[in-house]
Every structure is written in structure tokens, then in C-alpha cells.
Amino acid sequence: MTTTTKIPLRKRLALNLFRRYRKNETLIHNLNYIFWECTLRCNLNCLHCGSECRKEAVVKDMPAADFLRAINEVREIVNPNHTMIVLTGGEALLRKDLEQVGLSLYKRGFPWGFVTNGMLLDKQRLDALLNAGLRAVTVSLDGLEQSHNWLRQSDKSFDNAYNAIKHLSTAPNLRYDVVTCVHQRNFDELEQIKELLINAGVKEWRVFTIIPIGRAKEDDDLQLSPAAFKALFEFIKHTRKEGRIQISYGCEGFLGNYEREVRDYFFFCRAGINIASVLADGSISACPDLRENFIQGNIYQDNFKDVWENKYQVFRDKSWAKTGICADCEFFKHCEGNSIHLRDEKTGELKFCHIKRLEEAEKNN
Amino acid sequence: MKVKTKLLKAHNVAIAKLLAILGFTSCLCAGCAKYGVPEAEYIVNGQVVSKETLEPIENIRVSTYDGYMFTDNEGNYQVSYLGGDKGATVCVEFRDTADQYRDLDALIEFRDGEKIKTFNVGMTPNDNDN
């Protein structure tokens, strides 16, 4: 079993080399991934939602032309073919003009994709989206039927998500993955979920833990216990060794000796370094989870290109994050204060530390 | 500014190579979405042997973003990748599911016109340093 803080020499050397790589990437800060929060409307009411979405959104959907104007501004500084645009929400498929938006992006040379709960992704819609140049899809499946429906608060959500996955598995040349948020109610189902996904033809599976933001802040049951948290990493490690499905832990959190054991790359929060987002109200941010003090501008007042080139200091110099529990942490040089979406948007304090949670499990063992 | 960016990029290529020597991926972009509309198929094939004995290794999992296969009893493999038609950099991962050999990753560059490359691999026995 892996011990989180006991990092062997070879990996320590690699982590130190990677620090230099990360510093160079920060200096280059090449924009190559753009999220668009294209709607705050949603057809579900998930218990763990980190978004500000509601069934009846307060903020109206942004006209596609406004987003495309912002994209035209950054075209000068990016290679469109190497810049992925991901439409998120709310539920992106609620937008009836998604195909037209996608085709406009495709014609500008941008690969594009979307994140969905699968409720509206039938074969006909998928074909229409593929004809508009769709390149990537992420579908959420948060457990077997009962636990998925519980988290998603809908009796039909599992069937719809699973059917969407089956449609995606038949689409040629489309990259898709399934994302699962692991919590106390689906933790014991991981082996069964794995078999379900393999049988459905899924190649890539991303596993997240639920972080205390949005609605998830109000429900402690959504957080894994320290022991389950560690057991999850052991599960990912062993599943990767099996090689039957490409499983990985989500992008967040420095994981000590679990680095490169549970995902293909060393931890690096690329928010504001390679990733930008345009939120529903026009705000320019990094990942869509980042609001309030992390907002860098607004497409209705600022030029997107200028914002990318001249702002984002809070993402590119993270010395400010060496406070609170990070102040005297030996891993800060590798972690730089964890993923920015895990820091409080007003105070900057860290809300969750992966290393501390894993250490807690190892101490209790 | 452009010169500085080029130098930084070159430095990162060097770091990627050093990481590969240490047995860690040089595929630093792993986890990013695959970019570009696929227009060409790139094929990587070759043989996997033990660096120590030079004997072929069977059942090594060889993968690209587009799929995987296991080496046959002579250590042979062939994997493919769909990418743009103006060349591509393909990340190929070699994994021993029996955990007897260290993980190995490689970046295979295809320049204009190239569509197939042979890449023979010597895998290092695991030193169980974890």
C-alpha cells in the first residue's frame, strides 16, 4: 500500500524537475482550453452541484454571438486547432442552438465538446452535434441506479445517462469519458460501476471526490471518510494496473506518493495558466468553479485577449497561497496551495487538503 | 518575447526527456483533451524486450489516447492514433500489469508525410522502490 508522504528518491527527483517545467509553463501561459458556461439552466437538481445553476436560472443564457465575439478576440493569440472549447452549465444540452454554436467554433478551427448529465443526449441529438464538428463529451454517472438517482434527485437520470454513454460508445472518432463523483453512498459500488462501464464500451473513466462548494457544502454525507478516501486511491491504482479501463483521479490536489499512481501526470493546477472560462454573465475567469475574487474581467467590458495577456496574476504567482495550513507545509513547493478552486473565493484560505486527508487515514490505520 | 518563449519551450522539452530517463512520463500533456479534428491515422509498432535479458516480453499493455493492446508472445505490438494531417506527437505508454517492469512512456513525433514508425523498447525490471 502506498504511503502518502514517503516519496522515493526517484519520484522526488522527478517532482523537483517538474517544478521547473511548471514554472516555465506559467511564464509561457499559453491559452489552450476555454470553458463557456453557456447556460445556468438545468434539468436536474443534484445534491452536490458546485455550479450556481437552478431550474429557472436568474441569469439568462448569453447570446451565442457575444461568446463568439470574445473567441474572435483571443484568436489572435491562440492556435485554434490546439485550443479546446468546452461548453458547460447548468446543462449545456438545454441550449437549442448548441449545434449552431458548435458549427461556428468548428468553422473557426476550434475543436469543441461539452459536459452533460445525459438527460437529453439521444441518438438523434448526438448525430446533429457530430455533424456540427463535436470532438469530445464528458458524461456524469455517479453510481449504480439507486445511488446515481439519489445524488441526481431524479428517477430517470441513471437510465438517461447510461443510454447516453451507450450512444457515445458507437460514435466513431469521438473522444468521451465518464466522470463519477465518489461519495459515501456509492463508494462500495466502485467495482460494479467499473464492470458496468467496461461492458458499455467506455475507455476513459475519471473519478472525483466531492468538494465542499456549492450545494455540497451543506451535506457532510457527500464527503468520504478519511479511510474511504485513501481506499479510493488504492482502488484507482489497482484498476490502472489491471489495464481494462483508463481510470484516473480528477485534476485536483497534490497527492504525495500517489502522484503518477492514480493519474498520468504530476499535479499542476493549470487554471489561468492554460485554462480560461467565460461565465454565464460574461465574467472572465479560469475554471468555471472560480468566481468572486478570482474573476479577471468581463467580455462585455474587456477584451478577452488583453485580459488573458495582462491579468491572471493571482493564478500565475501563487506565493499568496502559502498561508494557513499551507504556511509550513513541506509539500508547498510541489503543490502551490492545491487547486485554486479549493481555496475560498473571498479569503483565499484552503478548504480541503488531499495530503492531510490521506495522512489522517494513515494515522488511524 | 517570442525568443524567450521558444527558449522556455526548449527547456521544457529537455525536462520531459530527463523525466523519461527517470522512468516518468514525458507525456506532460496527458490528461488534456485531444485536440484537432482527426484526419490521419498514425501507426506505431515495434517489439518490447527486457533491458536486462533482451528477451521479448509478453502481455505489456501498450496504449495511445485512442486505445490499447497487449504485446504478443514475441513482444510485438502495433497501436494507432488519429490526429491532424500535418504531423502529430503521439504519446505511447507501456505498462506491465504484472508489475515486474517499470512504467515507460514515449513521445513519438510524426513529421509531415510520416504515417508509420517502428519503436522498439527495452523495459527495466522493477526495483520495487515504492
- HEC-encoded secondary structure of A251-286: CCCCCHHHCCCCCCCCCCCCECCCEEEECCCCEEEC
A140 sits in which H/E element? strand A134-140
10-residue stretch averages of pLDDT, chain A, 365 residues long: 88 94 94 94 76 62 96 92 88 94 90 92 94 90 91 89 94 87 92 96 91 69 89 96 90 94 91 95 91 92 97 96 94 95 88 93 85
pLDDT of A46 reads 76
**Closest CB from A28, A113, A251 relative to B5:** A28
pLDDT of B34 reads 41
pLDDT digits (tens, 9 = 90+) for B60-94: 999 887 778 899 999 999 998 877 666 778 889 89
Instruction: For residue A263, give how far its alpha carbon lies from the nearest alpha carbon of chain B (Å).
Output: 8
Whether the Cβ atoms of residue B49 and residue B115 lie closer than 8 Å to each other: no
ipTM of the complex: 0.77
Q: Which amino acid is at A55?
A: K
Give the residue among A134, A334, A128 at the shortest CA–CA distance from B34: A134
Contacts of A207 in chain B (CB under 8 A): none
pLDDT of A51 reads 55
Instruction: For residue A47, give how far its alpha carbon lies from the nearest alpha carbon of chain B (Å).
Output: 27
- Report residue A52 as a C-alpha cell: 450556481
Q: Which residue of B has its CA nearest to A238?
A: B97
Residue B1: partners with Cβ closer than 8 Å, 6 or more residues away: none
pLDDT of A128 reads 94
Measured distance CA(B100)–CA(A121) in Å, rounded: 43
Query: A272's torsion region: left (phi>0), alpha (psi -120 to 50) or beta?
Result: left
**Closest CB from B15, B23, B35 relative to A20:** B15
Q: How far is CA B75 from the centre of its chain?
A: 16
A108 burial class (0-12, 13-18, 19+ CB within 10 angstroms)?
middle
- Report residue A343 as a C-alpha cell: 481555496
Query: Which residues are paired to A134 by β-bridges?
Result: A112
Q: Indicate yes or no: CB of B35 within 8 angstroms of CB of A175.
A: no
Contacts of A21 in chain B (CB under 8 A): 12, 15-16, 19, 28
pLDDT of A19 reads 95
**Closest CB from A133, A173, A251 relative to B82:** A173
Contacts of A111 in chain B (CB under 8 A): 33-37
pLDDT of A109 reads 84
Whether the Cβ atoms of residue A282 and residue A299 lie closer than 8 Å to each other: yes
A91 sits in which H/E element? none
Query: What domains lie within chain B, and their CATH numbers?
Result: 39-123 (2.60.40.1120)
SS3 for A32?
coil
3-state secondary structure B34-87: CCCCCCEEEEEEEEEEECCCCCECCCEEEEECCEEEECCCCCEEEEEEEECCCC
Tell me the residues of A at the B interface, defined by beta carbons under 8 Å apart: 2, 8-11, 13-14, 17-18, 20-21, 24-25, 27-28, 32-33, 81-84, 86, 106, 111, 113, 133, 135-136, 173, 175, 203, 240-243, 246, 248, 251, 257, 260, 263-266
Q: Indicate yes or no: CB of B27 within 8 angstroms of CB of A33.
A: no
Contacts of A251 in chain B (CB under 8 A): 31
Whether the Cβ atoms of residue A130 and residue A171 lie closer than 8 Å to each other: yes
Whether the Cβ atoms of residue B35 and residue A84 lie closer than 8 Å to each other: yes
Q: Give helix A98-107 / helix A123-131 axis angle, nearest 10°.
A: 30
CA angle B42, B67, B112 (to 5 degrees): 15
